[in-house]
Structure 1
Amino acid sequence: MIETKGFRWFRKVVLTFLTVFTVLPLYVLVVTSVKPLENVRGTFTWFPDRITFQPFVDMWTTIPLASYLGNSLIVTTTATVLALLVAVLAAYPLSRLRFRGKRLFSMTVLSTQMFPGILFLLPLFLIFVRVEDLIGVELTGSYLGLIVTYLTFALPFSIWMLAGYFSAIPEGLEEAAMIDGTTRVGALVRVILPVARPGIIAVGVFAFITAWGEVLFASVLTDTQTRTLSIGLKLYTSQTDTLWNQLLAASLTISLPVVIAFMLIQRYLVSGLSAGAVK
């Protein structure tokens, strides 16, 4: 296909617009986070009159941000690891084995992504309360409840993605390993998982990002001790004032794990495509 001059100009205009649309909010975020609060409260200026990094220092003491950061890391990391473990064990049979109800199970897993999360909020909360009454395991206001919730919502997409990734791996690799004397489980661990590492990492990063910024369930299932970052940021706002520079400084700081996660996705997806090209 030969690109016309008009199409090239159209592409440049669209890419320029998308770049500005993406970079401009980030610029405002960074500029506001290094302004003194009195400058933030005044008329917005594109260039700060005075730059200060004090908001990045004060944000840790204004609210217990470090505690909320620890809570988010505990919940998000645990949910991600469990989601990967269960997704691998579920996706591998879907991609390799034939059993009754396989198609129905696959469609059911995928269809759960069509429903909004708020639809499950009240039923899930009632289930947690009922479980607490029956067996005494605390699920509301604890790490466990939030981990189970995030695991529930990360698993369907993780299973669906990994099943497709495993299906793209030639079965001859496992057959050769089993001919050499290993079991199917051994072939999965020693052969399939190393080959599927880019896909597994991409799915893990997706699960991490989904849990890291979740607000709806965290606002209901946490208390003052287990509050996560997405809920804790609201404490920079009171009935009379909002510490905008500290709020945006904290937002910029806690966005770093997400940025790193996307960098990991890009790195491993590129390596995976390169490996596929070599094959």
Structure 2
Amino acid sequence: MRESIGFIWLRRVVLTLLAAFVVLPLYVIVSTSLKPLGDVRGLFTWVPSVLTVEPYIDIWRTVPLLQYFTNSLIVTTASTVLSVAIAILAAYAMARLHFRGRRAFGLVVLSTQMFPGILFLLPLFLIFTQVQRAVGLQLNGSFLGLIITYMTFTLPFSIWMLSGYFQAIPHELEEAAMIDGTGRVGALVRVIIPVAKPGIIAVAVFCFISAWGEVLFASVLTNNATRTLPIGLQAYASSTTVLWNELMAASIVVSLPVLIGFALVQRHLVTGLAAGGVK
């Protein structure tokens, strides 16, 4: 069916508006990060009168950005690795094993995605406080507490995604490996995981992004020593002024790990999401 001229132009206009909606804020962020603070505080101009890279140098001196970066990397990497590792085992059990309560377990995992994160903030804080009183293990303000907290929302999604992905893998592959003498665990490691690699990578990317940019839990469950990047960026604003150029520069630097990760695993990510049924 041939498209009409009117439809073609309408599509061009809509796509142009959508592109402008995405590109213009990015341009403002980049251009602001390259302006001196005096120009930023003045009347906004689309074209900077002076370009400088000093904000990208000053961001490391104004606040301990490297410490926040390291904290985020530790917490995000640990929660991602643990979530994916546990999810692989749980999802494989849901997809291949038949046990009592299997359906109820799947419903519980899926139902956790229905509630906003703020509902879990106070219960987690109280649980961490009670654990510290009972056994002396400090979870509030520690990396361990934040890792456990992030896993409360990354792990259920990972199990749900991977269970659907594992179910789409033909049983014959696994049965052939078991006929050759490989046990169920061996079949999982040698057959299922390599075949499910795109889905596992897609889930890992989701876990990493969710933990990397999380603000709500980190604002309550961290202290000066364990503060993460999303909370650390607030230090560029004080009661008297906001260092907008440094804030924009830091935002760009903070976004680089996610952008690089997307670029490296884009092919696997698209394949994994498509196979997992995410539209």
TM-score bucket (shorter structure): over 0.9
What's the counterpart of residue 87 of structure 1? 87
Instruction: Show the counterpart of 1:25.
Output: 25
Equivalent residue, structure 2, for 1:258 = 258
The separation in 2 between residues aligned to 1:71 and 1:93, in whole angstroms, is: 33
The match for 1:101 is 101
Return the offset for 1:272. Answer: 5.9
Counterpart in the other structure of 1:59: 59
Could you tell me how far apart the structure 2 residues matched to 1:110 and 1:2 are? Answer: 43
The residue identity in structure 2 corresponding to 1:112 is T
- Per the alignment, residue 238 of structure 1 pairs with 238
Deviation track 1:215-258 (CA, whole Å, cap 9, x = no partner) reads 11001010000000000000000111111000110000010111
Task: Report the count of equivalent residues.
Answer: 276
Q: Distance in 2 between matches of 1:42 and 1:118?
A: 38
Tell me how far 1:4 sits from its aligned partner: 3.6
Unaligned runs of 5+ in 1: none
Letter in 2 for 1:213: G
Q: Distance in 1 between matches of 2:222 and 2:81?
A: 21
Instruction: Give how far 1:152 is off.
Output: 1.1
TM-score, scaled relative to structure 2: 0.95
Q: Tell me which residue corresponds to 1:7.
A: 7
Instruction: Report the equivalent of 2:192.
Output: 192
* 1:265 shift after superposition: 4.3
Corresponding residue SS for 2:47: coil
Aligned letter for 2:132?
A: E
Report percent identity of matched pairs: 67
Aligned to 2:114: 114
User: In the aligned structure 1, how far is the partner of 2:2 from the partner of 2:263?
Assistant: 33
In the superposition, relative to structure 1, how do residues 174 and 252 fare at CA in structure 2: closer, same or farther (>3 Å)?
Answer: same
Distance 1:29 1:66 in 2: 21
Deviations for 1:116-146, whole angstroms, at most 9, x for unmatched residues? Answer: 1111111110000000001111100110000
Partner residue, 2:144: 144
What is the CA–CA distance in structure 1 between the aligned matches of 2:255 and 2:14, rounded to whole Å? Answer: 27
- Paired residue type of 2:137: V
Q: 1:67 to 1:163 in 2, by over 3 A?
A: same
Read off the aligned partner of 2:238 and give its amino acid letter: S
Match of residue 212 from structure 1: 212
User: Distance in 2 between the 1:222 and 1:273 partners?
Assistant: 33
Post-superposition CA distance 1:66-122 (Å, at most 9, x none): 000000000000000000001001000111112222222111111111111111111
- Stretches of structure 2 that go unaligned for 5 or more consecutive residues are none
Looking at structure 2, the residues matched to 273 and 79 of structure 1 have their Cα atoms a distance apart, in angstroms, of 21
- Structure 2: which amino acid aligns with 1:152? T
2:65 touches 2:229 (CA, 8 Å); kept in 1? yes
In the alignment, residue 257 of structure 2 is paired with which amino acid?
A: P
Structure 1 vs Structure 2 CA RMSD: 1.8
Q: Secondary structure at the match of 1:255?
A: helix
CA gap of 1:272–1:208, structure 2 versus 1, over 3 A, is closer
